[in-house]
Amino acid sequence: MLLTIDAGNTRTKWAVFNQAGEIINNGACDNSVLSNADFSALIFERVAISNVAGDKAAGILANNLAQYTATIYWLESTTKACGVINNYAPAITLGSDRWAALIAAWHFKQAPCVVVNAGTAVTIDALSVTLVNNKSQANFIGGLILPGLNLMQQSLGFATAQLPKFDIVQNSSKNQTTDSFAKNTADAIYAGALLAIVGAITLMVHELKLQCKQEPFIVIGGGNAQAIYQQLTKEISTLQMTPQTVIVENLVLQGLYLLDNFMQSDTQ
């Protein structure tokens, strides 16, 4: 059994995978209460962790896991893994969550992909494909980092005198419009943030299509995946684009499982 942990900027998610690659248990918590995360009810022999939350989160996780005999692996991006070449410079500086998401997207689609991880920040990464000895190989050719949907809205409230402060709890249950001609300030801020993200994704799709000479898939994960997916499919239809867009739950955790399998097979 493998325990995978994705420590993001705001929240930490985890899941236990069985040998068949199925999630049999999972959970999540805000990083502010990470010290309370309890893994005692879980059964696992190994732990794979992607941590982009910094040294404090790493220390808390290490302390929480100290009581277990499981082998712990802290993911760092490498130049190659699971059939994906990492062209970041240098490779190790690519965020471990982005690397895991790219690995998962390639595993699921085996085709050119725009990989979107929509959390506190939004990353939009491109995978192209080349043939090596008649076998397809993925190349991570680069990507973009934007403030996430909530962070964009919050930043306007912090940096301006008259625009309203954004409340995540209040706005999470509110039906906000994405009309480009918004008629009130809250809707104007929300639509501006969402359309900025969707615009960056559609531009990446266009650029990757030009390079690969085929329509790429769009693979989306993260907490704001659904909102982005809904707006993106609407914009794609309007622009008469034809990429297939999918949401993959637990994209980073799925990548951690695949990377663990890769390392296990490499050591045998």
> What is the mean pLDDT, run by run of 10 residues, along the chain of 268 residues?
96 95 95 94 95 96 94 96 95 97 96 95 96 85 95 78 57 59 85 93 95 94 93 82 87 96 73
Q: How far apart are CA 136 and CA 128, in angstroms?
A: 10
Architecture per CATH, domain 80-251, reads as: 2-Layer Sandwich (3.30)
Q: Looking at residue 187, what is its pLDDT?
A: 85
Among 156, 118, 131, 158, which Cα is nearest to 11's? 118
CATH 3.40.718.10 for domain 2-74, yes or no, is no
Rama region for 93: left / alpha / beta (φ>0; ψ in -120 to 50; rest): alpha
Q: Do domains 2-74 and 80-251 have the same CATH topology?
A: yes
- Collapse the DSSP code of 153 into the 3-class scheme (helix H, G, I; strand E, B; otherwise coil) and give the result: helix
Enzyme catalytic residues: 97
Q: Where are the domains of the chain?
A: 2-74, 80-251
Q: Is the pTM of this model over 0.75?
A: yes
Among 95, 156, 148, 154, which Cα is nearest to 120's? 148
Rama region for 250: left / alpha / beta (φ>0; ψ in -120 to 50; rest): left
- Cα atoms in the 13 Å half-sphere on the side-chain side of 10: 13
Among 190, 97, 178, which Cα is nearest to 150's? 190
Cis peptide, bond prior to residue 90, ω within 30 of zero: yes
